[in-house]
Every structure is written in C-alpha cells, then in structure tokens.
Homo-oligomer: A and B are copies of this chain.
Amino acid sequence: MKPRQHHRAESVASPDERIHGRGLRMTEQRRAVYDALMGKRDHPTAVEVFMRVKGTMPSISLATVYNCLETLTDCGLVKAVNHDRAPSRYCPNLEEHAHLFCDGCGAVADVSLRTRRQPQDVWEFPKDVIISHHEVSFRGLCPKCAAAKAGSTAGRSMVRARTSDR
C-alpha cells in the first residue's frame, strides 16, 4: 500500500504548517534561523548559524539557536549532518542526497543520487529488520582541493595553497 508519495515531497507543507503541525509556534527566532539556513545553502555549524542570525537579531542566544535547529530538524525542515565527532552541521537540502566531506578545506558538498537504485538494494540486511533512515557520506577532496593537489604534486611550481574556510 505505499501510496506513491514523494520523492521531492517534504516541501508540500510550508515551514509554518510543519511547525504548527506539531503544536509548536513559528517564532521570530525560528524563522530567522530557518532563513539563515535557506539563504545560504551550505552546511553551517550551530555557531556559524548563531553568528549569521546575530546580524539581524543581536539579542538571540546560542542556546536558542540550538533549540531552533533541533525543532526545525524534528519538523523535517532541515537535516542535521554529522561527520566523525565534529560539530553537527545543518543542511537545508531535503532532497535525497549524500555528503562529501573535503579533507582539504573542510567544506561539505551535497552529492545527489545518480540512479534509481537505493542504497538498501546494495546491502544485505538481517532478516526482519526495519529500516527507517539511511545516510551515506564520503571523505575525500572537493574539486578545488583535488585540483590544487594535482597541481602541487604533478604540475609545475603551481604555487597556490589550498583554500581554507573553517
């Protein structure tokens, strides 16, 4: 009976509806945090979100940012992404996707699904398990860092150091 249901989905309900749906309130702070995520569609940590939101709402506290991020995550409006034991990052992309963590610059890039094949099809599960979520992540070098490395290793005196944004 799987009705059909999304893939793009998730976004059928507006942020407000999602929040209200849980008996919660869309406050200024939650909206500001949400907007900070949606405005620049990257993968900031809670502290980075905090710094962004401070720009327009100087009175907001870090604890509130943590609370808002948790709420937004619970409501399915953003995703929390973790890598090793590094601080959690938050991702506004609700499409099915994986993440690439760049060892060169620390950036996190979205990696989208290429085929219809689901990761579950690749793995052998014990009988009778129930899978509710899956998560795929890669480590390596983003195009910029890969190029920088190729240049410094093989190439000429291509001096350039690698970008670093964290």
A interface residue numbers (CB < 8 A to B):
80, 82-85, 88, 98, 100, 103, 109, 111-115, 117-143, 146-147, 149
- Asked if B123 and A114 sit within 8 Å, CB to CB, the answer is yes
A111 to B120, CA, bound (A): 10
Question: In the complex, how many angstroms separate the beta carbon of A158 from the nearest chain B beta carbon?
Answer: 15
Query: Which chain B residues border A84 with CB–CB below 8 Å?
Result: 80, 82
- Asked if B138 and A131 sit within 8 Å, CB to CB, the answer is yes
Query: Which chain B residues border A137 with CB–CB below 8 Å?
Result: 134-135
Q: Which one of B85, B129, B136, B142 lies within 8 Å of A143 (CB-CB)? A: B129
What number of copies of this chain does the assembly contain?
Answer: 2
A141 to B128, CA, bound (A): 9
Query: Which chain B residues border A103 with CB–CB below 8 Å?
Result: 132
- Asked if A122 and B124 sit within 8 Å, CB to CB, the answer is no
Query: Which chain B residues border A147 with CB–CB below 8 Å?
Result: 128
Known: A82-B84, A100-B131, A119-B119. A126 touches B109 (CB 8 A): yes
- Asked if B119 and A122 sit within 8 Å, CB to CB, the answer is yes
- Asked if A111 and B125 sit within 8 Å, CB to CB, the answer is yes
- Asked if A129 and B141 sit within 8 Å, CB to CB, the answer is yes
- Return the 9 tightest CB-CB contacts between A and B, nearest first: A114-B124, A131-B140, A128-B143, A130-B141, A133-B139, A132-B140, A130-B140, A130-B146, A134-B138
- Asked if B129 and A146 sit within 8 Å, CB to CB, the answer is yes
> Chain B CB within 10 Å — which of A88, A122, A139 has the most?
A122
